[in-house]
Structure 1
Amino acid sequence: MAQGHSQWDPWIHSRHELPPVRAHRAPRPRPPPALHRHPGQACLRATRGLLPTALLLSAASFGLFLWQLRGGPRGSFFTPAGGTQLLAALAALLGAGLYAARGGRPLAGGFGYCFALAWAAAALALGSGCAYLRLRKGA
């Protein structure tokens, strides 16, 4: 694997590259934790935390939208739903941006499809957050 990665990472590898198949053998001793770290490990953890947070915020935004649609006053804006969706977009942008800036460059030449999906999700969340803010409940 590239640069001492011990696991197959879908953020780096494309769907055509499958993880290596290991033969059944005795497990190798793990190196001490200080030697196992590399510079992009913290950013990868932050990315893995920010993107599920963006997903949860987006789901909460949709729930707020439905709640406001059913019980909100006529003529009001969907500001809480829009603000929550913009927070989801911010979390997705931060997660993908952190990974791109500090996560390390793959040796194979490109990031995987999950990386492109994260940027697409951030753009879509930003667009829908702005649409929620402009939307007004009809009479």
Structure 2
Amino acid sequence: MNNIFSKWLYIWGFVSLSGVATALSAAPTLQYSKTYDKCNHAAKSSTNKQKCISAEYQRQNQRLKNAEQKLSATLSATEQKRLLDVQKEWRSLHTFYDDQCNQTAFDAENAPATSSKKVTELDCDQQFLERVTERANELEQGKVRAEYYLDP
């Protein structure tokens, strides 16, 4: 009986690890520009990192706009309307998250010093960049995620 249980446990563990590996390999990687990678690697101060993020945000935002236009050109009029609604909802949600993060960073900056890691404005800007880059990836792949669109 113990031998059967051991085999079952081994098989279950292998299948679980295979599933995790598949899920991780399927996760999209963020496509930052080489210019950003070089800039970020060379940046020694928060101000320089901020400049890198700001410049990359401009590139990724343009990439997002281009992906939206390219995807829209392949859709019917009804689907184009849905894409516009989805993008409006995404932008609204994106702005909400950005405002929340900035408020958290402001509160952390003005709170009494503690030993825990605080959220900084730089952290917020990095998250903002990640969300725009991820959305550009989604639209380039033709994915219009339903959770951004509240009306089914």
The answer to which structure has the higher helix fraction is 2
Whether these two folds match at TM > 0.5 is no
| Higher relative contact order (Cα pairs below 8 Å, separated by 6+ residues) | 1
Normalised by the length of structure 1, the TM-score is 0.34
Normalised by the length of structure 2, the TM-score is 0.32
